[in-house]
Amino acid sequence: MALSLNKTKLDNLATDIWKSAERLRGKFKAYEYQSVILPIIVIRRLECVLLAWREKRSAEVLAKRPKLTEKELAKLVKELEMNPQQSPFSNKTDWTLRKVYEEDHMLLEENFRAYINGFSKNVDDIIEHFNYRATISLMVKNNRLAPILNQYKEMELGPDKLSGLEMGYIYEELLRRFSEQSGEEAGEHFTPREVIRLMVELLEIPVPDRHFSIYDPAGGTGGMVSVAKEHMLDRAFTPAEKERVEKFLTLHCEEISRTNYAICQADFLIKNDKQATVLLGNSLIPHDPDSKEPGDQFPETKYRFNHMLSNPPFGVTWGGKDGYEKEARKLQKTRYQAGMPRVNDGALLFLQTMLAKMQPPEKGGSRIAIIFNGSPLSNGNCGSGESKIRRWILENDWLDAIVMLPDQLFYNTDIFTYIWLLQNEKPADHSGRVMLIDARQQFEKEPKSFGNKRNRITEAHRQWIEQCYREGWAKGYADEQVKLFHTTDFAYHKVKVVFWQTDEHDQPAIITEPYERKFTAANLAK
């Protein structure tokens, strides 16, 4: 499995695509750029897959029936395409982006809409979630439909030219640029493949011999679960093992962003992965059929998962006027019974959501890997919601290990990140203990920076981390970067100490005076 990207190639492609966004300036507002560009990328990528399928199937049919005329061949292949058992998706028309563009431009909108409307229902669902039909009207009004079609009509975006990993980077880079243009902060971060691989290895996901489920409550564009499956197939050495992965492994992810959901759906459709389920919804709140905003589509009352892994957005606001606090608090007595974090950081809500969906120990239990920034480790005073959640996790002995990763690993942020590993069926030598692994120095420099990604974890670094995790529990194991603690070592009480004196009448003498000088490490040492 290749862990690196051809940065020059992808930078050039991202720049070419970005040029089409720049052509929208003055006609569209900055926040509208992505509603024009991302859907046409997905449509063109799907078109590349469909054209390749038609070419391959035509060759197969012609090899068996060489006397077919061109018209007869086209008719037969179209019939095969319209059969869902033969093709994962279809388009009932003969249009392509190139044909639409090369026809009479007076009919450009009509022909393009006919092409869009000709796709099968599964692709139509993707187009609907992009709300692309409304965007077409704006493109026509602003005289931008022809230039956009011209740029994308022959762009090589098929999976034979761009892997899922490479396409994921393109989406991430474009989303970053769109956020910058619209003055927004990009809180979501595409997870590098080497980090996902490390998470998968630390979870020790086996080649299954019965149904085995993987879940991501913040699915994004699907990279986390997709790469997890790719890695499992990579580890399956025999055809029989690969068949077991395809047969028994099911992928489940939720995504709140309609754009990311549509991209994720398209990716699984291109792969023709029938064992993957992607649903639109906010995994942190209960689902209300009468609400315009869908909630959790995999409630713990119905779903439990064997392994879970996620990279939820950092610092997501869940309260206040921009959040969904009222809906989330409906789960305060069940899923979030341990506590609720501050309203401007929902990271621990994602973790509690995953913990609620663990298989019970008598059914084999569950294992979790989740990426956090430093906030969930330390935010919240003693007795706060965050502190109560951490206490609940430690008292239940679910926290297994925390791995501190190098900085500058991610494309859109250069901060230090942490992998939390949790499980509810710990081995005996893990029981009551937590391992901390300092892997901040386990990296090498990227030959060329990729956004904020200037460092990478190589095979040797990954193996070092895995070895620490596997062997570090043994008595006598010694490594300065590996520390073992009892769960009770993290417990403390906050005590308020009041100093007072008595006056000449032996009465408490309490004087409240402001102390202007700031306490620092330097003056406290004195």
The mean-pLDDT minimum among 312-316, 327-331, 493-497, 520-524 falls in 520-524
Q: Write the pLDDT tens digit of every residue in 168-177.
A: 778 877 877 7
346 pLDDT tier (thresholds 50, 70, 90): very high
Q: Return the structure tokens found at 490.
A: 């993290």
The whole-angstrom separation of Cα 453 and Cα 97 is 35
Q: Please tell me the pTM assigned to this model.
A: 0.84
Give the pLDDT score at 242. 94
Q: Return the structure tokens found at 321.
A: 């006027």
Give the pLDDT score at 112. 97
Average pLDDT over residues 52-62: 95
Q: Write the pLDDT tens digit of every residue in 401-410.
A: 999 999 998 8
Amino acid at 319: G
Largest Cα–Cα distance of the chain, in whole Å?
118
DSSP string for residues in 394-439: HHTT-EEEEEEPPSS-SSS--S--EEEEEESS--TTTTTEEEEEE-
Q: Where are the alpha helices (DSSP H) in 183-329?
A: 193-203, 223-235, 239-248, 258-271, 325-328
In sequence order, the β-bridge partners of residue 253 are: 216, 278
The whole-angstrom separation of Cα 96 and Cα 119 is 11
The whole-angstrom separation of Cα 252 and Cα 219 is 9
pLDDT surpassing 90 at residue 498: no
The whole-angstrom separation of Cα 378 and Cα 266 is 38
Strand pairing report for 367-372 and 418-423: antiparallel
75 pLDDT tier (thresholds 50, 70, 90): very high
Strand pairing report for 453-456 and 444-450: antiparallel
pLDDT surpassing 70 at residue 115: yes
Q: Return the structure tokens found at 252.
A: 């489940």
The mean-pLDDT minimum among 83-87, 107-111, 161-165, 384-388 falls in 161-165
The whole-angstrom separation of Cα 14 and Cα 411 is 14
pLDDT surpassing 60 at residue 184: no
In sequence order, the β-bridge partners of residue 251 are: 214, 276
The SS3 assignment for 105 reads helix
The whole-angstrom separation of Cα 409 and Cα 392 is 31
The mean-pLDDT minimum among 82-86, 173-177, 411-415, 433-437 falls in 173-177
